[in-house]
A and B are shown apart, each in its own frame.
Chain A
Amino acid sequence: MFIIKCPYCGERDVTEFSYGGDATRAYPQDPAQATPEDWHAYVYERDNPRGWHVEWWQHSQGCRQWLKLRRNTLTHELGRTALPHEPLSPDDDEGSDA
């Protein structure tokens, strides 16, 4: 039972959130110019990392904000959360918001 730090609402129980998949893939910037390979990578290619990962979660019972969450799939440790436009990678060094 995680505690997720919503960028707006602070620490809340995981039961208020819903999972939204891999956040390390970005929707192609210009859909018309994206190649089939770009789309293939975006839609289908998913790592299944053992360790730190960045995922989409939505604070669905709260403020409805989508956020990025750094999570260790092995230990269930949670790292930083970030708003969608903020960069966050699986090997993020935690920064100041840890």
Chain B
Amino acid sequence: MIGDQLRRHPTLGGALDRSKALRFSFDGQRYSGFQGDTLASALLANGVTLLGRSFKYHRPRGVMSIGSEESNALAELRTGARREPNTRMTQIELFQGLEAQSQNRWPSLNLDLLSINGLVAPFLAAGFYYKTFMRPRGFWEKYEYFIRRAAGLGRASGEADPDRYERIHRHCDILVTGAGAAGLAAAKSAMQAGARVAILDEREAPGGWLRFDRNLIEGAPATVWLDETVAALRAADNVTFLTRTTAFGYYDHNLITAVERVQDHRAVPDPHKPRQRIWTFRAKQVILATGAVEQPLAFADNDRPGVMLAGALRGYLNAYGVMAGHKAVIFSNNDHAYRTALDLIDAGGAIEAVVDVRPSPAGDLVRAVRDRGVRVYTDSIVSHAKGGHALQACDVTPRGGGRPETIECDALGMSGGWNPAVHLHSQTGAKLDWRDDPGCFVPATAKWPCVSVGAANGDFQLADCLANGSEAGAQAAKASMGGTTATAVPGVRAFREERPHPIWEVPLGPDRRGKRFVDFQNDVTVEDVELAHREGFVSVEHLKRYTTMGMATDQGKTSNIAGLAIMARLRDKPIPEVGTTTFRPPFTPVSIGAIAGQERGQHFQPLRRTSMDDWHAENGAVFQNVGLWRRPHYYPHAQEDVDDASRREVTATRGAVGVCDVTTLGKIDVQGPDAAEFLNRIYANGFAKLPVGKARYGLMLREDGMVFDDGVTSRLGETRYLMTTTTGNAGPVMAKLEFYLQTVWPELRVRITSVTEQWAGFSVAGPKAREVLQDVIDIDISDGAFPFMAAAECRFAGAPARLFRISFSGERAYEVNVAADHGAEAWALTVAKAQALGGSVYGLESLGTMRIEKGHVAGTEINGQTTADDLGLGGMLSSKKEFIGKAMTGRPAYLAPDRQKLVGLRPVDGATWIKAGAQLIEDGAAAPPVQMLGHVTAVAFSPELNTPIALALLSGGMARAGAALEAAYPLTGESVRVRVVSPHFLDPEGTRMHG
């Protein structure tokens, strides 16, 4: 066994399992500890007190606290991809083989060359960024490199997180956050009332300060009551008891988020289980029993390793059997810290002095300490802690002034009183009230059904915690489910404690030296707060941002109150008038992995695949994501790039036949006696008289008269229609149709259903399209029987299908819908036939090329700012009926002659590609600003015309036909001379598709 654990008490330490020794390393040095230790307690047991370097000045730091408020003892944990920075050693459970590294030191913790920052400290005072690095201009980037190296925290691993995370939702009647005395009492009475209860605690073992303090409940050690209560709660069917779980966010309608560290205490997590789990609780009633945080005192060099919170000093002793010092001094403004003196003495330690700022303390605990012969310096302060890497002594000075007395010590327990952990309460936007006795903020009225109890509510006596917790649990059960059960409250001796004396900054000693830290993690001192005040940053929000006080990973749990109290003194105002900053989630840092949960990698969002997706993948398709769908972009042969492949696909389609997967188009089944009337109101063009067996192109407007969507709708039966939408608008169109049916025209006898998923779709386009299909379709598709714009239900090789004679490519074309489970086979069969006829499959690139050649509009033209007229579709608007958006189509602005309208463009040189998104201007040589006349919406290379072509929205539209313009793309400095032409590049009469 390596390491001696010299500081370990022979018997104390209820958290430890001494039968299980664990090996671990810190900065490469090997040590031993026990099961139940935290990294902090194990290092302290081994006498390691120098644990880190501070953020700005690189001052040596030790552990300050025993909980999640820790601001000094931060470590990088693990190695490789699992390396995790800024973990609080006070919360790291020791495990076999744990490897930890200290942070923010170079080259080593003991010899940190950057501690020279401490010598140039005046230069680094609050606001130094703003003042120092502003000049010379342009030098910031050079400074920044060094600042970022020198200041800061741990390093992220830079590798993908190898572990699993998940989220889980839970409803309950009552959620209790914190399983200390108050929380357990609340959960117990709620459980007994039969409510569905969830209780969380951030530590591995519940109990809170019941485990760190020595108390008697019903005459027995408090741990007896603790163990019984926990066992009863864990055994109850109606209770969810989670440890290692931190409630970190409190949102509207009693939504509480918590992170459970499922496997952080294992060296390597079980790969089938999540490393961490985010819980989202929806509770009818919330009971906040989050306890309180002891506050440090701002005396000179209060950050020396060995100085810690008084409660932490006794907590390490009682729970972990760690005697952090053999000669201790206690510096306090309250009675509670005297418990530390008593516990240390009873464990065989020596208390050199208790220094109390109050003139004549005489509470029960004070008297008990005096009875043990300890010297109590009243009306005094510790004016200076001394030592370098470890505390060696402290100066005690009378408050009224006088000569300091130097007392040798190796531990100093400080206590500035306790401040309720109001963070969750405050996150909801609920206010805080200032309570003069004992001088802390407590929760005011809660925003949602919620109550704070115990220390979280400023009730620090154990008897109050148990009684108020129990009552709160019963009340919450009554409120959430009615009825109530009286719960017995265990008896506890109450100590008479006197009022603490608030002291937010401790005067410097006669030597006038040392730094008085308010925010330890961000190295903010009393002087920084004073500087902020002098420079006018007097509101708490400005103070915070100017000094960075409270902005570190500890969120100011041990600094905010002191900082604003000092500001209140400087402004000569009462503390509540100065106010507090707003607490925001998370209470403690939460890893990104946990927040992402299962939504990572390919599950970041769902991927939609068509029935033919496997075929596409097996046949070398290059995919393109369109919304959530993935669609083939092109199918390259050998070394082809996208342009080569598309040119081949288009040529094959226009020359023979092409097959394209169009499953993603939105498909909406519209049925009912009033279906025709409904469609007629929705579409801008007439649908009332569409015969059975016919398809019609339809244009939908928004209520403001802009084009919303387009598609083909077919009448499959007397009362049955199939509407298609664009891929991107399938969802919005469906929701809009439902809106009109449910809210505007509920009397219409129509029901609509999305059938996008039910049918696989592909188009067969080209002069040989009919040849491909005539053998597999069970109806007559000769031109006479099935002309352009015909539609029918049919069978495709025996499978349920629908056939539409419609064309997006401008060729003779059919669109086939097949019941989706048959889609893959129907597709394969069709492709084989097409290929035998010299045809090809084609992807989105070719689809785009062919629609541009035809001047068909798509999403880049239907962009929410174009009217039907702008797109050359103005003639479709029906004058004979009402339809959505009709009233707006006549607005003067929509009729202005300079509106941007659809045109075609060709490069003047017949060869240069036009850039999509390019701006159209008159004169490429003109100096900006120049008037922008429009922009290029879509570009392609037309194999048939053997030239690049483009569609554009151009001011004045076809009134500029024949004009030469500049298509400028300033981002890359490209510019092309283009000529305005008709957007219908190919076969404008449509003879091909009519066949």
Contact = CB atoms under 8 A, between A and B. Distances in A.
Q: Does a CB–CB distance below 8 Å link A and B in the complex?
A: yes
Interface of A: 1-3, 13, 18, 20, 27, 31-32, 34, 36, 39, 42-44, 56, 58, 60, 64-66, 75-76, 78, 84-85
A97 B282 CA distance: 21
Nearest to A34: B887
Contact of A3 (B282, B704, B742, B743): B282
Nearest to A29: B744
Contacts of A13: 282
Most buried by A among B251, B743, B882: B743
Interface string B886-901: 1110000000000000
B541 interface: no
Nearest to B429: A75
Contact of B735 (A18, A34, A75): A18
B887 A1 contact: no
A60 B349 CA distance: 67
A66 B738 contact: yes
Contacts of A39: 887-888
Contacts of B252: 1-2, 76
B746 interface: yes
Nearest to B753: A64
A13 B887 CA distance: 37
A84 B887 CA distance: 23
Contact of B738 (A27, A42, A43, A64): A64
A84 to B, nearest CB: 4
B739 interface: yes
29 contacts: A1-B251, A1-B253, A1-B255, A2-B253, A3-B282, A18-B735, A20-B735, A27-B744, A31-B882, A31-B886, A32-B882, A34-B887, A36-B887, A39-B887, A39-B888, A43-B704, A43-B888, A44-B704, A56-B739, A56-B743, A58-B735, A58-B738, A60-B735, A65-B742, A66-B738, A75-B447, A76-B253, A84-B746, A85-B746
Contacts of B643: none
B425 to A, nearest CB: 16
Contacts of A60: 735
A12 to B, nearest CB: 11
Interface in B228-265: 251-253, 255
Contacts of B882: 31-32
A76 to B, nearest CB: 5
B703 interface: yes
Nearest to B736: A20
A34 B703 CA distance: 14
Contacts of A31: 882, 886-887
Contact of B253 (A3, A34, A66, A84): A3
Contacts of A42: 703
Contact of A84 (B735, B742, B886): B742
Nearest to A60: B735
A13 B888 CA distance: 37
Most buried by B among A36, A39, A44, A78: A39
A1 B447 CA distance: 14
Interface of B: 251-253, 255, 282, 447, 703-704, 735, 738-739, 742-744, 746, 882, 886-888
Given A27-B743, A43-B703, 9 more contacts: A1-B252, A1-B253, A2-B252, A32-B882, A39-B887, A39-B888, A42-B703, A44-B704, A60-B735
A65 B742 CA distance: 8
Contacts of B253: 1-3, 76, 78
Nearest to A42: B703
Contacts of A66: 738-739, 742-743
Contacts of A64: 738
Contacts of A43: 703-704, 888
Nearest to A36: B887
B742 to A, nearest CB: 5
Contacts of A2: 252-253
Contacts, number: 47
A84 B888 CA distance: 25
Contacts of A3: 253, 282
A58 B888 contact: no
A14 to B, nearest CB: 9
Contacts of B743: 27, 56, 66, 84
| For the complex of A and B, 8 pairs with smallest distance between CB atoms | A84-B743, A39-B887, A31-B882, A27-B744, A76-B252, A1-B255, A66-B742, A3-B253
Contacts of B888: 39, 43
A60 B136 CA distance: 57
B685 to A, nearest CB: 17
Nearest to B705: A43
A85 B888 CA distance: 26
A42 B447 CA distance: 35
A3 B252 CA distance: 9
Contacts of B735: 18, 20, 58, 60
A31 to B, nearest CB: 4
A43 B703 CA distance: 7
Contacts of B703: 42-43
A64 B746 CA distance: 14
A61 B704 CA distance: 27
Contacts of A34: 887
B895 to A, nearest CB: 14
B670 to A, nearest CB: 15
A74 to B, nearest CB: 10
A1 to B, nearest CB: 5
A58 B253 CA distance: 19
B748 to A, nearest CB: 13
Most buried by A among B253, B704, B744: B253
Contacts of A75: 447
Most buried by B among A1, A20, A36, A65: A1
B741 to A, nearest CB: 9
Nearest to A32: B882
Nearest to A58: B735
A2 B886 CA distance: 36
B765 to A, nearest CB: 35
Most buried by B among A43, A56, A85: A43
Most buried by B among A18, A27, A60, A65: A27
B525 to A, nearest CB: 39
A45 to B, nearest CB: 12
A27 B255 CA distance: 36
Nearest to A20: B739
Nearest to B881: A32
Nearest to B882: A31
A83 B887 CA distance: 27
A77 B536 CA distance: 38
A27 B743 CA distance: 9
B155 to A, nearest CB: 34
B52 to A, nearest CB: 37
Contacts of B447: 75
Nearest to B171: A11
A42 B744 CA distance: 13
Contacts of A84: 742-743, 746
Contacts of B704: 43-44
Nearest to B249: A1
Nearest to A85: B746
A32 B887 CA distance: 8
B292 to A, nearest CB: 28
Contacts of B738: 58, 64, 66
A64 to B, nearest CB: 6
A33 B735 CA distance: 27
Contacts of A65: 742
Nearest to B739: A66
A27 B746 CA distance: 13
A9 B22 CA distance: 53
Nearest to A83: B742
A97 to B, nearest CB: 17
A65 to B, nearest CB: 7
A13 B704 CA distance: 32
Contacts of A85: 746
Nearest to B252: A76
